Amino acid sequence: MELKERVLKVLDLLEEHYGPTKCYLNHENAWQLLIATILSAQCTDDRVNMVTKDLFKKYTSIKDFAEASQSELEKDIHSTGFFRNKAANIIACCQMLLTEYGGEVPSDIDKLTKLPGVGRKTANVVRGNVYGIPSVVVDTHVRRVSNMLGFTDSQDPVKIEFELMELLPEKNWIAYNTQIIAHGRKVCIARRPQCEVCFLADLCDYRQKTKSGEENK
């Protein structure tokens, strides 16, 4: 089966099993999602949502974060890990939003990635989920599962992003991330992928290779 044909079958099955999915980080606007995504680095979405529930009540605007005490913000976000870097980046990011972008979160990828603490992944989360701009978000789930499916053999997030942009129809770019996250959490679990019950098994490079290896024993 040609790769493009296999990709389309995978996308159809992901849609069938998970349907339209929403962003896993709770937010009410662009700046909240931006900050939540910065916090999500090396941290679970569930933990971030627990932290931002109170954080966004205490800091109710970009200005509040821009004027925050770094030591106090560090305490507020301590449980997300890497709290010193995250606090410094959030404050600097919000200051730049005020001074450079009029207090608005831009939708342009180049402007977003100029913000402290914002790489392509964070920028694409905001672009896709807030502004509806087709974007491919490459997180740990997308990197790992895309490799297992045989959609890429790279470990570099930026390279994977551009490879998936070539491979996936644009209309699937946003949904692919959240559907693959769901699949990575429920079925294709990092340390123990449930290949026996996976609805993508027949289309998966990893499963076909391990299956043929078992048969050759």
- Specify whether 22 is catalytic: no
Rounded distance, CA 13 to CA 18, Å?
8
Amino acid letter, 124: N
- Specify whether 153 is catalytic: no
Rounded distance, CA 81 to CA 67, Å?
22
Which of 58, 108, 121, 156 does the annotation list as catalytic? 121
H-run or E-run covering 41: none
Nearest Cα neighbor of 177 from 121, 115, 131 is 121
CA distances from 11 to 111, 175, 191 (A): 31, 9, 24
H-run or E-run covering 50: helix 45-58
How many Cβ atoms sit within 10 Å of the Cβ of residue 57?
8
Which of 139, 153, 209, 217 does the annotation list as catalytic? 139
- 92, 116 in Cβ contact below 8 A? yes
Rounded distance, CA 7 to CA 32, Å?
33
Q: State the catalytic residues.
A: 121, 139
